[in-house]
A and B are shown apart, each in its own frame.
Chain A
Amino acid sequence: MEFDVNIFVQQLVNPSYLSGAFLSVAVAVLSLILATAIGFAVALGRTSRSRIAQGVAGIYTWFFRAIPALLVLLIIWNALPQLFPVLRQDWFSPFIAAFIGLGIVEAAFMAEIIRSALLSIDDGQALAGRALGMSPVKVMLKVVLPQAIRTALPPTGNEFIGLVKFSSLASVISLQELLTTAQVGVNITFRYAEYYAAAIVYYLIIVSLLTLLQSYVEKKFVWTSRSKSKKPSILEPVGQGVQS
């Protein structure tokens, strides 16, 4: 069997690939938002002086770093609805289960990124804010966070890209994301090379766009009055957060 360019091109423009790619990105975006919110709370807990907050945050990180994301997805989709009737209703779709599941796992990794970003800010910054009379919340929002975000952006971009790829795990709970779309096509036609190649092209496009977005956002956090232009590169190494 030879590589059939026609089949490949046909799949590239196949709307089901596009909708699969859209679902993958949407799951990644929502789970990253969820992970950042939970991760921030966990990071605050871990840097808190309260023993209880430290303990809860520590256990969260310990637990979700250990459990495979795949298992978490299966639990959320299969086990939880047995325990909680509310999850048996229509609104609880594979999409929602996927982004919640990936989000709470990813939160353990985001917590570490946020924690080290918070710790990287010189103590003199909060001290200067406090000396001005700023409340603890204001010191966090106006002084520490804007600086910590800059530190956290590059690793967060890596996590984001990792999440796009790990959204493929949601195939086990029958979400029609990108890889599932390819797999379904393969199962019917057995044209492995063409269908997988189309998936590769989509992943490359998505990750390239995300990398450009990342360097655009990072440039917003270069604190000079002259706009420095550093050529964005899409050929940067990509880390992975969620371990399956």
Chain B
Amino acid sequence: MTHSGPELMPETWSTNDPVLSVRNLHKSYQDQHVLRGVEFDIRQGQVKAVLGPSGSGKSTMLRLMALLEPADDGEIRLRGRRIGVREKASGAVALPERELAKERRNIGMVFQKFNLFPHLTACRNVMLGLTSVKGIHHKEAEEQAMAMLQRVGLSHRAGHFPSELSGGQQQRVAIARALVMNPDVLLFDEPTSALDPELVGEVLDVMESLANDGMTMIVVTHEVRFARRVADEVTLFDSGVIVEQATPDEFFDNPQHQRTRKFLSHVH
């Protein structure tokens, strides 16, 4: 790229650098300071689990990373390139919604409540991003969608509507819908919290297989066993900042921070 300024340096980005990198991220709602300077990096193929108490701002952090809401301050870089803003001499200006939409293609999001489109079959849910965002033709999109449904083990449910699927199946379709866009990073916001306990396993299995395939994933979760087994790094998020970051063994067996020990004593 020839038009990159000093802040846009994709040519200096190497695969060892973070795919997604967050610096000094701040966000307030009314007078509530929810994110207080979040610092976060994730490298290609890494899986990071984010734990933390309710209301600490984990979902807010993901929404900002996915460019679904503007940050008050701080920066988000994808492959070294700053996203979500246009940099001007006077400072960074939030991009208009149409421009943001283009940048969002590279970041996938899986929601706690699935948010599948109820008026579309499973296959159409997965196809919609391909046809309406990437402009891929119907037939080609259908093939890609079917392949993705197969990957989450649901090709036999392709013609079913969300109301005809179990929660676990719906969440797997939602994962396929995000995955088919081939994002650089996939964000999960408590993907199993809305599920009946017996359906949690099938979703976690799909996520584990994605992780094994080298997908870059940030997973906000309460599933401690999943975090321990699948994540490369576990993070404690509390009161709008990242408190501790460590390998699963270090994090669970030998946490450095008092707040982590206190949190773990509640969830164990």
- Please name all residues of chain A whose beta carbon is closer than 8 Å to the beta carbon of B174 when the two chains form the complex: 128
* B171 interfacial contact with A, CB 8 Å: no
| CB within 8 Å for A134 and B133 given contacts A142-B128, A150-B119, A223-B119 | yes
Q: Does B163 contact A (CB under 8 A)?
A: yes
Contact B161 A128 (CB under 8 A): no
A142-B132, A225-B159 given as contacts; is B115 within 8 A of A128 (CB)?
yes
Interface size of A as a range: 20 to 34
Q: Is the interface of A mostly helix, strand, loop or mixed?
A: helix
In the complex, A224 has a CB within 8 A of chain B: yes
Chain A residue at minimum C-beta to C-beta distance from B66: A131
Complex Cα–Cα for A51 and B264 (A): 48
In the assembled complex, how far is the CB of residue A143 from the closest CB belonging to chain B, in whole angstroms?
Answer: 6
Complex CA gap A41/B68 in Å reads: 25
Task: Tell me the minimal C-beta distance from B106 to chain A in angstroms.
Answer: 8
Q: When the two chains form their complex, are residues B133 and A125 in contact, meaning their CB atoms are under 8 A apart? A: no
* Chain A residues with CB under 8 A of B178: 131-132
Is A217 part of the contact surface with B, judged by Cβ < 8 Å?
Answer: no
Known contacts A124-B111, A138-B133, A224-B161, A132 near B119 by CB under 8 Å: no
Instruction: Please determine whether B129 and A134 come into contact, CB atoms closer than 8 angstroms.
Output: yes
Contact of A133 among B105, B111, B162 (CB under 8 A): B105
Partner of A127, one of B101, B115, B116: B115
Q: What 0/1 pattern do residues 119 to 138 of A give for CB contact below 8 A with B?
A: 00010110111111111101
A129, B132: Cα distance in complex, Å = 10
* A132 CA to B98 CA, complexed, in Å: 13
**Contact A127-B68, Cβ < 8 Å, known A134-B129, A147-B118:** yes
A55 within 8 A of B: no
How far, in whole Å, are A82 and B129 apart by their CA atoms in the complex?
54
Task: Count residues of chain B with CB under 8 A from any CB of chain A.
Answer: 35
* Residue of B115, B163, B174 with most partner-chain A CB within 10 A: B115
* Residues from 151 to 187 in B contacting A, C-beta threshold 8 Å: 159-164, 174, 177-178, 181
Is A232 close to B, CB under 8 A? Answer: no
Chain B residues near A146 (CB-CB < 8 A):
119
Flag if B129 contacts A133 (CB, 8 Å). Answer: yes
B111 A128 Cβ-Cβ under 8 A? yes
The CA of A157 and the CA of B108, in the complex, are separated in Å by 40
Q: Chain A residues near B162 (CB, 8 Å)?
A: 223
Contacts of B115 in A (CB 8 A): 122, 124-125, 127-128
Q: Apart from A124-B111, A133-B103, A225-B121, what are 16 other A-B pairs with CB-CB below 8 Å? A: A130-B104, A131-B68, A131-B107, A132-B128, A132-B129, A133-B102, A133-B105, A133-B133, A136-B97, A138-B132, A142-B132, A146-B119, A150-B119, A223-B118, A223-B163, A224-B164
Binding site for B on A (CB under 8 A): 122, 124-125, 127-136, 138, 142-143, 146-147, 150, 221, 223-225
Q: Sorted from nearest, which 5 A-B pairs have the closest CB atoms?
A: A133-B105, A128-B115, A124-B115, A132-B129, A131-B109
